[in-house]
Structure 1
């Protein structure tokens, strides 16, 4: 074989190899929408980036996906750089990674449990509406004079407010104790409160302050006006369905957690065990001290 033919064969082989590499490194297709330093980014990852995002009906979904893809790419580039600096080996990262993984798995279990809840019957809905008039026929919006502050670490401060029966008196007591607070008008929807709490508020004198938690704050409220907002009949069924399912879900999760804790072997280092009578790790909000006696309730309008 001549040297010329051998050279042509070698060149042909190299060309085929380069062509093969080119096809491998070519534009992504199918479910792979991009590559970052050889790492594939799939359409599933892009859609996961958009999970929970409510898009307008006239939105250009492809444009939204392109924006989401850039966020995924940016994150992967930052992750690569972080790994080069071995930040993925730090104790802080390991602890946070464990927390994220555990939270995700717990959420998956919760969603699975929620999907098993049956649809309510008409009798279920009638009973729910009868037991929760604050969400339906007797629903009100309460305009309140509200004092809002972070719960102090010293419980004696809240204890000292029990003898105060005016909003100005509460403000003066907090100032005296150097507790920062904000004061202004707000609105509380009785549909967002447990029926038992609404009843306790109704039993208070009209000018008596009452305490409710609100997203990491405590609020002390005095009602200055009421407005009836009964739910229209055509909306009541859906509201009742959502409320009934939420109630069933909360009962199911509480019961499941109780069973898991009773059957688990849990040990504590000294000083870390829940206090006697405490809710432990369930995350229940502590009852708020003060002139008002309603127990903790979520979802105030503050």
Structure 2
């Protein structure tokens, strides 16, 4: 079972599960001590703590579902324990690949726990800071739009850029421009999507917000050119009261990320780091850039309004703090 950091959710649910287990343990012989053991598999025990750990990662679990859920988790843990015991009997746990995976998971858990501890030191944004962010980002809130976009990734050489730009400027439609690319034997791929402002890369939001329906923009990428067409759009503004929770979460995650980066920078400066072998050479330039149309879960700005308001949870996805 892949181990993750405990995310403190559903304390009421866990209290119910723990209390139920305690009562069950105390219901037998009065001389027995309260036990946290939920089951015994050969000589090994499965505890209520193990069950609680799994339940903590199940979102949306209601207190009345605790009993049934805990029993299902227990059965899965029993199966897991049986597999572990058999693997140990066959010395699978000593396989170099398995040992390497265990060590990698351990390092990731410890490093992430340290990063979370650093993040806990930052202060929450003030009401004034939230209002300032709201007012400074009209394209995300006051003037928020839903965009229907089409994107073309064109493989081209720098000496071909000028001709492509000229053809794009004179094209009356996307189809006309695509026909030109075909006739010029230029390879390209297309992508289309409907995206809210907050689902676009934050660096591109302002530029796209200035586009009118039917407009296009073109930019260079490592393989050639990227052309973005705004097929259509509709206005869906968000007021400050609805935006506030998402902005607070976004700014807080931003501060955490900055604090972690600052801490890592200080650690690097105070440590001796030596690159060896091929890694002693400078890394090649020209890393691939992200496409203009990312997946919806890659949003890098406060999340889109839902029926109940903005969803702060997707902010952490955009910040890379899952």
So what's the TM-score if we normalise by structure 2?
0.63
CA gap of 1:50–1:159, structure 2 versus 1, over 3 A, is farther
2:203 corresponds, among 196, 206, 209, to 196
Mapped contact 1:140–1:191 kept (Cα < 8 A)? no
Q: How does 1:29-44 map to 2 (within 5 A)?
A: 30-44=35-49
Secondary structure, aligned partner of 1:134 = coil
* Whole-angstrom distance in 2 between the partners of 1:210 and 1:76: 56
Q: Which residue of structure 1 lines up, in the alignment, with residue 216 of structure 2? A: 208
Q: Does 1:228 align with 2:235?
A: yes
Mapped contact 2:151–2:229 kept (Cα < 8 A)? yes
1:249 corresponds, among 241, 244, 256, to 256
Higher relative contact order (CA 8 A, sep 6+): 1
* Whole-angstrom distance in 1 between the partners of 2:265 and 2:198: 28
Q: Does 1:240 align with 2:242?
A: no
Q: Which residue of structure 2 lines up, in the alignment, with residue 70 of structure 1? A: 75
Q: Does 1:125 align with 2:135?
A: no
Q: Which residue of structure 2 lines up, in the alignment, with residue 270 of structure 1? A: 277
| Residue 117 of structure 1: how far off its partner (Å) | 2.3
| Residue 261 of structure 1: how far off its partner (Å) | 2.3
| Residue 240 of structure 1: how far off its partner (Å) | 1.8
* Whole-angstrom distance in 2 between the partners of 1:103 and 1:43: 25
| Residue 92 of structure 1: how far off its partner (Å) | 0.8
1:287 corresponds, among 286, 289, 295, to 289
| Residue 262 of structure 1: how far off its partner (Å) | 2.4
So what's the TM-score if we normalise by structure 1?
0.67
* Whole-angstrom distance in 1 between the partners of 2:41 and 2:124: 46
In structure 1, runs of 5+ residues without a counterpart are 1-22, 149-155, 214-218, 280-284
Q: Number of aligned pairs?
A: 250
Q: Which residue of structure 2 lines up, in the alignment, with residue 18 of structure 1? A: none
Q: Which residue of structure 1 lines up, in the alignment, with residue 148 of structure 2? A: 143
Secondary structure, aligned partner of 1:60 = helix
| Residue 36 of structure 1: how far off its partner (Å) | 1.3
Mapped contact 1:142–1:189 kept (Cα < 8 A)? yes
Tell me whether 63-72 or 123-132 shows the greater mean CA deviation: 123-132
CA gap of 1:82–1:264, structure 2 versus 1, over 3 A, is same
| Residue 104 of structure 1: how far off its partner (Å) | 0.9
* Whole-angstrom distance in 2 between the partners of 1:69 and 1:119: 39
* CA deviations over 1:160-190 (Å, ceiling 9, x no partner): 69665566667967xx6888x664x412222
* Whole-angstrom distance in 2 between the partners of 1:227 and 1:177: 33
Q: Does 1:60 align with 2:62?
A: no
CA gap of 1:103–1:267, structure 2 versus 1, over 3 A, is same
CA gap of 1:57–1:51, structure 2 versus 1, over 3 A, is closer
Tell me whether 29-38 or 63-72 shows the greater mean CA deviation: 29-38
Mapped contact 1:201–1:210 kept (Cα < 8 A)? no
| Residue 102 of structure 1: how far off its partner (Å) | 1.0
Mapped contact 1:129–1:136 kept (Cα < 8 A)? yes
CA gap of 1:159–1:142, structure 2 versus 1, over 3 A, is farther
* CA deviations over 1:234-282 (Å, ceiling 9, x no partner): 3222122112112211211222222222222222232235745879xxx
Q: Which residue of structure 1 lines up, in the alignment, with residue 299 of structure 2? A: 299
Q: How does 1:18-29 map to 2 (within 5 A)?
A: none
Tell me whether 88-97 or 114-123 shows the greater mean CA deviation: 114-123
**Pairwise CA RMSD of aligned residues?**
4.0
Larger Rg: 1
CA gap of 1:204–1:268, structure 2 versus 1, over 3 A, is farther
Secondary structure, aligned partner of 1:143 = strand
